[in-house]
C-alpha cells in the first residue's frame, strides 16, 4: 500500500502469522480488537514453499491460484496480492501485529520490532525451528513492504511469563552454560483467547479460584492449566517440542535417548530433524501428520498413532489436573481440538473419575466457528469447544501497545 494513498484515520490492525509455507492474516478494527468478533477480512496463502502450488483462501469467497513466475518468490507475490486486497477493502492500517512463537525471558509482552529487537529474537530460533525463523522473516518482509507501519511482535510465550518458580525450574545446576534455560510455555495467544471467551460465556470461569485445563490440539499440541485465568503449568517447556505428541514432533522423550543417539554417531542436526519433523503422528503412522487422514485410514499404524496421541493427552492432562488440585473447566481448541469429536470423547471418558460427563449429541454438533458447551447437565466439570482466533489477541495487544505510546 502506498503511504500517500492511506486515509488519514488509521484505525485498523493487520494480524499475521508467517510460516514456512503459509501466511495467515486477519484485519481487525483497533477499537474492537480482542472483543468477541471476527476479522472483517481474513484468509491464508498456502503452498508458498519452493515447488508448491500457491493459492489464496479467503473466508468469504472461492480459492484462487496465486500466479508466481519463474524466478519469483512466492512469499513476495503473496504480499503483493495482500496489498491489493487491502487496497480494495480501503482500510487505514495502523500497524502489523505478528505472531512470534518465542520471546525467551526477554519479552513478556508485545514489542515494536527494530534492529535490536530483531537481533534478540533471532537468538531464539533454535528453540522453535519450525516457527521462529519464518515468523521473523515475515516481520522483515512486511517491514520492507510497509516501512511506514509499526511491526509489532506478539509472543506465544508471554501468556506464561508469570509461571510459578517451581514450574519454570529444571532440576539442573545454576551454571553460566545454562543461563536462560527454563520452562517457557507456548500457544499463549491461543490460550489468552480461550481465557477471554470462557470468561465472557461461563459464569464459573468468572469465579475466583476456578481451575481450568485448556487443550490446544493441532499440528502443534499442548495443554495449559490455569487458576483464576493465570497460567500455572503447561506441557511445553524450554522449546515447542516438549509435552504432547504432535503432528510431526515427538513431544517428551527420555533425554537418555538423545545421549544414546549421539553416542551412536547421530549429529545434532539429524536429531533435530528426527524430533521436529519425522516423529509424532507422521512418524508413528508412517502415513500422515494429519489426524483427519489417519481417521479415514484402516491401516493398523494409523490407529496406533491415534491411540498413542489420545493416551499421551490423557496422561499429561492427569498431571496438570493434579497440579491444579482438581478441575472445574475443560476447553478444547486447535484444528484437532475443534473438529475431532472422537478425541474429545476419549479424553472426557478418561477424566470421568473427575466428574467429567459429556453430552454426546452436543459433542457431535460442535464443529465449526461457534463456541459450544458440550458437557452433560449433571457434569461436575464444564466442557467447552472454543474456535481460537490468535489474530484477534495479537491485534488487541498491538493496539494497546500503540495507545500506551509503544
pLDDT in tens, 71-122: 788 999 999 999 888 886 656 889 999 999 999 989 999 999 999 999 999 9
All 3 cell numbers of residue 99?
Answer: 505472531
pLDDT of residue 36: 57
pLDDT at 2: 35
Average of per-residue pLDDT across 267-292: 97
Average pLDDT, the chain: 92
The top-scoring range by mean pLDDT among 63-67, 118-122, 127-131 is 118-122
Matching residue, cell 470461569 = 205
- Give the span between the Cα atoms of 214 and 385, in whole angstroms: 10
Above 60 in pLDDT, residue 143? yes
Max mean pLDDT among 32-41, 87-96, 330-339 falls in 330-339
Question: Structural domains in the chain?
Answer: 3-155 (3.30.420.40), 197-390 (3.30.420.40)
Average pLDDT of the residues in 374-381: 97
More confident residue, 385 or 39: 385
Q: What is the pLDDT of residue 365?
A: 95
Q: What is the pLDDT of residue 69?
A: 79
Q: Which residues are annotated as a binding site for substrate?
A: 99
pLDDT for 123 beyond 80 = yes
Let me know how long the chain is. Answer: 406
Q: Specify the pLDDT at position 89.
A: 63
Active site (catalytic) residues? 156
pLDDT at 59: 80
Which residues are annotated as part of the binding site for ATP?
24, 216-220, 290-292, 335-339
Give me the pLDDT at residue 4, please. 34
Can you give the pLDDT at residue 5? 39
Per residue in 152-172, pLDDT (tens digit) is: 999 999 999 999 999 999 999
Pairing of strands 41-46, 151-155: unpaired
Binding residues: 17, 24, 99, 216-220, 290-292, 335-339, 390
Residue 65 has a pLDDT of 87
- pLDDT one-digit tens code per residue, 44-55: 999 998 888 999
pTM of the predicted protein model: 0.93
φ, ψ of residue 336 to 5 degrees: the values are: -80, -45
pLDDT of residue 37: 63
Amino acid at each position: 500500500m502506498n503511504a500517500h494513498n492511506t486515509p488519514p484515520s488509521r484505525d485498523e490492525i493487520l494480524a499475521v502469522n508467517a510460516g514456512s509455507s503459509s501466511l495467515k492474516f486477519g484485519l481487525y478494527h483497533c477499537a474492537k480488537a480482542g472483543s468477541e468478533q471476527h476479522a472483517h477480512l481474513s484468509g491464508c496463502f498456502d503452498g508458498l514453499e519452493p515447488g508448491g502450488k500457491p493459492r489464496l483462501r479467503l473466508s468469504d469467497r472461492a480459492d484462487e491460484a496465486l500466479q508466481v513466475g519463474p524466478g519469483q518468490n512466492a512469499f513476495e507475490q503473496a504480499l503483493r496480492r495482500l496489498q491489493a486486497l487491502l487496497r480494495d477493502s480501503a482500510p487505514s492500517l495502523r500497524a502489523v501485529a505478528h505472531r512470534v512463537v518465542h520471546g525467551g525471558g526477554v519479552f513478556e509482552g508485545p514489542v515494536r520490532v527494530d534492529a535490536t529487537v530483531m537481533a534478540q529474537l533471532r537468538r531464539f530460533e533454535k528453540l522453535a525451528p519450525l516457527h521462529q525463523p519464518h515468523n521473523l522473516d515475515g516481520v522483515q518482509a512486511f517491514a520492507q513492504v510497509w516501512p511506514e507501519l509499526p511491526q509489532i511482535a506478539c509472543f506465544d510465550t508471554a501468556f506464561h511469563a508469570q509461571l510459578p518458580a517451581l514450574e519454570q525450574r529444571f532440576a539442573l545446576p545454576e551454571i553460566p552454560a545454562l543461563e536462560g534455560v527454563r520452562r517457557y510455555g507456548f500457544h499463549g495467544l491461543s490460550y489468552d483467547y480461550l481465557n477471554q471467551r470462557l470468561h465472557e460465556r461461563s459464569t464459573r470461569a468468572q469465579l475466583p479460584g476456578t481451575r481450568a485445563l485448556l487443550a490446544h490440539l493441532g499440528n502443534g499440541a499442548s495443554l495449559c492449566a490455569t487458576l483464576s485465568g493465570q497460567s500455572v503449568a503447561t506441557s511445553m517447556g524450554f522449546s515447542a517440542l516438549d509435552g504432547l505428541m504432535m503432528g510431526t514432533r515427538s513431544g517428551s522423550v527420555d533425554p537418555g535417548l538423545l545421549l544414546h543417539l549421539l553416542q551412536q554417531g547421530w549429529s545434532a542436526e539429524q536429531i533435530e530433524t528426527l524430533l521436529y519433523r519425522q516423529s509424532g503422528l507422521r512418524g508413528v503412522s508412517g502415513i500422515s501428520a494429519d489426524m483427519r487422514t489417519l481417521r479415514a485410514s484402516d491401516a493398523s499404524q494409523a490407529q496406533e498413532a491415534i491411540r498413542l496421541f489420545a493416551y499421551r493427552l490423557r496422561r499429561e492432562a492427569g498431571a496438570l489436573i493434579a497440579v491444579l488440585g482438581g478441575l472445574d473447566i475443560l476447553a478444547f481448541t486447535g484444528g484437532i481440538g475443534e473438529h475431532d469429536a472422537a478425541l474429545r470423547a476419549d479424553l472426557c471418558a478418561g477424566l470421568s473419575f473427575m466428574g467429567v460427563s459429556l453430552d454426546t449429541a452436543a459433542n457431535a454438533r460442535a464443529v465449526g466457528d461457534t463456541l459450544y458447551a458440550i458437557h452433560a447437565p449433571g457434569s461436575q466439570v464444564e466442557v467447552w469447544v472454543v474456535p481460537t482466533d490468535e489474530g484477534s489477541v495479537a491485534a488487541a495487544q498491538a493496539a494497546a501497545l500503540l495507545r500506551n505510546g509503544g
